[in-house]
Chains A and B, each alone.
Chain A
Amino acid sequence: MANKATAFLIGWRIEMKKTKIIENIIHGIFLILGLITVASVLLITIYLVIAGIPAIREIGFFKFLFGKNWASTAAEPVFGILPFILTSVYGTAGAIVLGVPIGFFTAVYLSKIATGKMRETMEAAVSLLAGIPSVVYGLVGMLVLVPGIRKIFHVPDGASLLAAIIILAIMILPSIIKVSITALDAVPKEYEEASLALGATPIETYFRVSVPAAKSGIAAAVVLGVGRAIGEAMAVMMVSGNVPNMPSLFQSVRFLTTAVASEMAYSSGLQQQALFSIALVLFFFIMLINVTLNFFMKKEGKEA
């Protein structure tokens, strides 16, 4: 009897050891998989810095960032990216001005007011909007929006900053709506019930209680939208005309992203290095946005 018990115990121990080894192996595999992501980020960062610095040095930091002219293939090339930076900033700001109110009110409606079938269908539509490839946005913009702007505003050509802003506003809607809904849904029911019990109307409750309670989540949604808008290239390239002008609403413009994308194919020498430098500037902007996003996310974590 005792023998049997010891044999069982030994067997159990061997089993345990085996499981432990397997556990450790799996642990290791996951660690490696995680490190692939970290390595990719580091590789891209290091490469961008190495590839982007030489041209900035050669052209001159201020001449590059604040130069108003870009003529990369002219007999005497000029590399100034101020038009691209301003266009990206204006374009993103415009998309936020148009997209945030629509996205925000849609999120409040879906989270607090809409029920059952209505919420289901609308959320499905929002998800679908997020899944449409950007080249499709660009194509529709090129065939519908650009001629539309030309006819409505009586300008000679519709490819403009305005067209890009409208496309971007639509493209950032899903991220704004989805993140805002999550934040609004997370507001404790008790807050709203207390407000209603005190005699506030439902709408008053939503805007005076629920929205302030979810404000850092909504802020994170806006920052996410900014990130999406500033990084978009394909759709914007198809509707904005791509001429390196200083930005103006009905003028053909070139964004930081499209500046890299449109010339990379044939570029060589200093022109190519300058394109890497533009990518570095863009990367810097995205980093800035990520830091802001982390700030809001952390704040939300503390509040909750």
Chain B
Amino acid sequence: MKKIISLLMASVMCVGILAGCGANETTKETVQTTTNSENLSVSTDGSTSMEKVIGSLGEVFQQETGISFTYNPTGSGSGIKAVSEGRCDIGLSSRDLKEEEVASGLTATVLAYDGIAIIVNPENPVEELTSETLAKIYTGEITNWSEVGGNDTEIVLIGREAGSGTRDGFESITGTEDACKYRQELTSTGDVITTVSQNPGAVGYASLASVKDTVKAVSVDGVIPSEETIKDGSYVVQRPFVLVTKTEEALSEGAQKFFDYITSDEAVEIIAGAGVVAAK
């Protein structure tokens, strides 16, 4: 019995030590890849909404060139800050740069546009909403479809979970941050589309690329969402994905290669695969 107990204790200790090591090692590794200056590397920092598009671009880039790529999901604001302080090569922002940011010596290059379609059930006669009514609907000021020219049914608000890039995008564009009265918070675009297609009173939002025939995308301020209207800026529920660089300083060799690659024609398909419209 004693033997078994001592064995158990020993194994517990081993496990504890291993667990400790594991955690330390991973942090060291990431530090190493970002500070390693001998090999070519590119570091990006910023918008969490751009995770999918920049992640898939970085993966392909790293495979093709062997240049190590890192992405630090911190948010647009801290990404812009990081590039101006020289803590990363390219900053990622899911909003346009403000005037004072441009004045401080930063350049914005639009990589892609994230168009968010407002979807309703095909049975719903509403075809058009203005961006103001949209905000009023999502903050719970308008609760019945009859108030916006539809049937007399209650509006059911379908959204995404906290932290989702689409939710963040929708709420920041419509100015409804932390004020949306959701009836359902679903964890994937597919779930949102299925739920809206099942409920005649539902309204939801989803990346334009993933909208299917089972739901109807309404026009906002009279503009139907499509690749063209997103690119020319007439469809308002959209935001740019911006690459932020320093205007005066040249990029490092690895970063320049990455920049050229993701703004080339080759990258268009990968960008589209991530559900956004390439700026090219």
Contacts and interface: CB of A to CB of B under 8 A. Distances in A.
Interface string A59-84: 00000000000011111000000000
Contacts of B178: 71, 74-75
B177 A157 contact: no
A39 B199 contact: no
B73 A268 contact: yes
A205 interface: no
A75 to B, nearest CB: 6
B187 interface: yes
Interface residues of A, number: 36
B228 interface: no
Contact of A73 (B15, B154, B163, B201): B163
Interface stretch (A98-106, A182-190, A234-242): A234-242
A156 B19 contact: no
Contact of A271 (B154, B155, B163, B186): B163
B247 interface: no
B60 interface: no
A261 B188 CA distance: 12
A242 B184 contact: yes
Contacts of A158: 199
Interface residues of B, number: 33
B183 A157 contact: yes
B191 to A, nearest CB: 7
24 contacts: A35-B8, A35-B11, A38-B11, A39-B12, A39-B15, A43-B15, A43-B19, A46-B16, A47-B19, A142-B194, A156-B153, A156-B183, A159-B195, A241-B183, A242-B184, A243-B183, A243-B184, A243-B185, A252-B182, A261-B187, A265-B163, A265-B187, A266-B164, A266-B165
A159 B191 CA distance: 12
Contacts of B164: 266
Interface string B166-205: 0000000000011000111111000100110011011000
A42 B161 contact: no
A143 interface: yes
Contacts of B191: 142, 238
A267 B16 CA distance: 26
A262 B187 contact: yes
**SS of A interface (majority):** helix
A29 to B, nearest CB: 14
A147 interface: yes
A112 interface: no
B243 to A, nearest CB: 22
A242 B161 contact: yes
A268 B74 CA distance: 9
B230 interface: no
**SS of B interface (majority):** mixed
A193 interface: no
Contacts of A73: 162-163
Contacts of B202: 157
B64 to A, nearest CB: 27
B156 interface: yes
Contacts of B194: 142-143
A263 B183 contact: no
Contacts of A271: 163
Contacts of B11: 35, 38-39, 42
Interface in A216-260: 237-238, 241-243, 252, 254
A215 interface: no
Nearest to B156: A157
Given A39-B15, A46-B19, 19 more contacts: A39-B11, A39-B12, A42-B11, A73-B162, A74-B178, A142-B195, A142-B198, A146-B198, A156-B156, A156-B201, A158-B199, A241-B183, A242-B161, A242-B185, A252-B184, A252-B185, A263-B161, A265-B163, A266-B48
B73 A35 contact: no
Given A147-B198, A271-B163, A157 B187 contact: no
B21 to A, nearest CB: 13
B177 to A, nearest CB: 7
Nearest to A42: B12
A39 B12 CA distance: 7
Contacts of B201: 156-157
A35 to B, nearest CB: 6
Q: Which among B7, B11, B161 has the highest number of chain A CB atoms within 10 Å?
A: B161
Interface in B5-63: 7-8, 11-12, 15-16, 19, 48
A254 B12 CA distance: 35
Contacts of B48: 266
Nearest to B158: A157
Nearest to B4: A31
A157 B15 contact: no
A119 interface: no
B185 to A, nearest CB: 4
A51 B242 CA distance: 35
Contacts of A265: 163, 187
Contacts of B156: 156-157
Nearest to A244: B185
Nearest to B199: A157
Contacts of B16: 46
